[in-house]
Amino acid sequence: MKKIIFSAALISVLFSCKTEKQMQQTTTDEKQHIELELPETISSEDIGDDIFVYTIKIGNDPEKSHLTASLPITLYDFVNKSEERLTQEFITEFKNEFEIQENGAILDFNQHFDVKFHSEDFLTFLYSQNASYGNNYGEKHFVSVFDLKNKKKIQPQDFFTNEENFIAFSAEIQSLVKKAIRERIYADKNYSSDQEREEVLQMLQESIQVGTAANATNYNALFFNEKGQWIVIFEKYQVASGAMGEFVIEIPKEISDKYIDQKFLNLFKKEAPEQVVLEPSQPVYTEVDCSKVPCVALTFDDGPSVYTPQLLDALKTENVKATFFVLGKSASVQKNTLKRIADEGHNIGNHSYDHKDFRKISEDEAIRQITLTDEIIEGIVGEKPRYFRFPYGAHTQENLAMVGRPVIGWNVDPMDWKFRDVQQVVEGMSKGSKQAIILAHDIHKTTVEAIPQVIKNLKAQGYHIVSLDDLFRYKKLKNGQTYSNGK
């Protein structure tokens, strides 16, 4: 078996909690030193053609500064190294910002990615990094496009045969951006007259010119997707005022055909295969009857991740069912893992798209987080998740109403995101009680390594380990109501 060795870069983060004076909270971890290590070896058999999500988490308490950064792990070492470097920069930015924040603002930094194109020639990730300094999130996008045959990261200018084409292309984009800005201004009812609108447009001319000029920075989010559609994203403030938000420009075919290098256009000569959508199904019960025997439910949040297959192996060996509260962003990358979770009889729950704190986002964004994740999961396993869990369990009263299904909490929390120690996680997770819901995260190596012993300990105490379907079999669950155990 061929082994692929990943660089075992140690991302060492000194994380001191300065926010407690502001939050009137007592905490014992004045200084928390977290060492994060990328998986050292993964066999190519495990990876195959898949892309795995590796998630780094520093802190998970919404009342304190925290960071969550996902990066892809692939079959290609040069890709992994590049994306690891990029993630390290983001973590360093967080660390530096944390040092600067003397007033104790709560930093909430997130990085996630989506696969926009994947063939044997090219691989494209669209990254989204968002950061909150206490209130709403500021967001930026950029892509990593890899030429897999030539083992090279593609720069925006590489999409064009020569500099002239790039410049001519950017002039066309400039007109498209002007048109998009004009439409947005005319749709905005806050202007008193069309004359005022024209004045604002006039004032924006220069920033549009500067923000769309042909250079690598302006076009760091230029890419093509699986359908051969070329897209460029301009950040908030790049071409217009921040209040106007970002601009996602879908480039008309006649423009991409005219300027883009033929070798990229040739990729889309053949039709993409149609996706098969399966029929939705009902809850599936095992022979365990939780009204007669003591049960506990293991729930795993924030995946799927590079460690999830190992966790599934352990659950299979011990013949127990669990529930996975997955993130839409990771499920869309690790489709085969999600399929395996469903095929092996575990429950899948919706845990939002990219783990934002629902108290900090608009109603529209909250609905988008829920429905987009439903669609991604349904598209892969053929059914919409029956359970929902808020990131951090944090939500407003209004959020509860929009979920449209039972909200699942927990009553056993091993704090596995904090204690990256197998024995400590084993102890924390083994504290079962009748009909308990145990929380854990399958993005942490230590958590996954703890599971075989956790299962043995719980079984030794007489518990049956079940999915939420089994735990709630005889209970009439209400939409928008929170359940933190099966009683």
Residue ranges in contact with Ni ion by CB under 5 A: 301-302, 391
- Whichever of 68 and 220 has its CB closer to Ni ion, that residue is 68
Kindly report the length of the chain. Answer: 487
- Whichever of 235 and 302 has its CB closer to Ni ion, that residue is 302
Q: What is the DSSP code (8-state) at residue 366?
A: H
Rounded to a whole number of angstroms, the minimum distance from the CB of residue 370 to Ni ion is 14
CB neighbourhood size of 43 (10 A): 11
Query: Burial code of 409-446, b = ≥16 C-beta within 10 A, e = fewer?
Result: ebbbbbebbbbbebebbbbbbbbbeebbbbbbbbbbbb
Rounded to a whole number of angstroms, the minimum distance from the CB of residue 20 to Ni ion is 22
- Whichever of 118 and 395 has its CB closer to Ni ion, that residue is 395
Rounded to a whole number of angstroms, the minimum distance from the CB of residue 341 to Ni ion is 16
Q: Which two tokens stand for residue 144?
A: 């990593």
Q: List CB contacts of 295: < 8 A, sequence separation 6 or more.
A: 288, 434, 435, 463, 464, 465, 466, 470, 471, 486
- Whichever of 302 and 357 has its CB closer to Ni ion, that residue is 302
Q: List CB contacts of 104: < 8 A, sequence separation 6 or more.
A: 18, 19, 21, 22, 23
Which 3 state secondary structure label does DSSP give 206? helix
Task: Please name every residue paired with 440 in a beta bridge, in sequence order, or none if there are none.
Answer: 300
Q: How far is residue 4's CA from residue 280's CA, in Å, rounded to a whole number? A: 38
- Whichever of 289 and 413 has its CB closer to Ni ion, that residue is 413
* 110, 130 contact by CB (below 8 A): yes
- Whichever of 211 and 304 has its CB closer to Ni ion, that residue is 304
- Whichever of 302 and 374 has its CB closer to Ni ion, that residue is 302
Residue type at position 255: I
Q: How far is residue 109's CA from residue 133's CA, in Å, rounded to a whole number? A: 9
What is the layout of strands, in order, in the sheet containing 52-58? 52-58, 66-73, 108-118, 122-132, 137-147, 152-154
- Whichever of 107 and 177 has its CB closer to Ni ion, that residue is 107
List active site positions: 301, 441
Q: Which two tokens stand for residue 424?
A: 């400590």
Minimal CB distance residue for Ni ion: 301
Q: How far is residue 85's CA from residue 78's CA, in Å, rounded to a whole number? A: 11
Q: How far is residue 316's CA from residue 312's CA, in Å, rounded to a whole number? A: 6
CB neighbourhood size of 241 (10 A): 13
- Whichever of 214 and 348 has its CB closer to Ni ion, that residue is 348
Q: What H or E segment, with its residue span, contains residue 247?
A: strand 247-251
Three-class HEC string of 31-60: EEEEEEECCCEEEHHHHCCCCEEEEEEECC
Q: How far is CA 5 from the centre of its chain?
A: 25
Q: How do beta strands 137-147 and 122-132 pair?
A: antiparallel
* 406, 387 contact by CB (below 8 A): yes
